[in-house]
Amino acid sequence: MELKTNFNIRVYGLLINELNQVLISDECRNGFSFTKFPGGGMEFGEGFKETLIREFQEELGIEIHVNELFYFNEFFQVSKFNPKDQLFSFYYKVSYDDWKSIITNQHDVPLKTEGEKHRWISLNELKKELFTFQIDQLVAEKLAQ
């Protein structure tokens, strides 16, 4: 029996402000709570930068500038949401001049209601245990160095 594999390309943004804090996303989808970096899945017809610009527009209502590629996973990773999906995750450093305007309400973690909320975490306090997914954990370790 052949298992059909789908390739799922994910693109995430590392937005670091002037206070040396990185923006992270707490989300709840279908009752599953998780913490990750802002971003999401590439849609057909998009490139990496277009995906990231769209995701930040959808999630935060802001127009970011996409800078250099920071990391991508070079190992096999199965999606936590669909065991038939192999993930390829790309992390870019991004910038946004008006970072103080980003709404980051205080909220309980893990998030219990459907949706997403954002918060700033100091790079000095960044630990892999804050994140749900293995690739985000690796990126958090690299950022904290």
* 11 has pLDDT over 70: yes
Lowest-confidence region among 70-74, 101-105, 134-138: 101-105
Q: Return the bridge partners of 86, or none.
A: 7, 78
* 16 has pLDDT over 90: yes
Question: Which percentage of the chain shows pLDDT scores above 90?
Answer: 75
Closest CA to 89 of 24, 134, 35: 134
Per CATH, the architecture of 6-144 is what?
Answer: Alpha-Beta Complex (3.90)
Whether residue 38 contacts residue 121, with contact meaning beta carbons closer than 8 Å, is answered with no
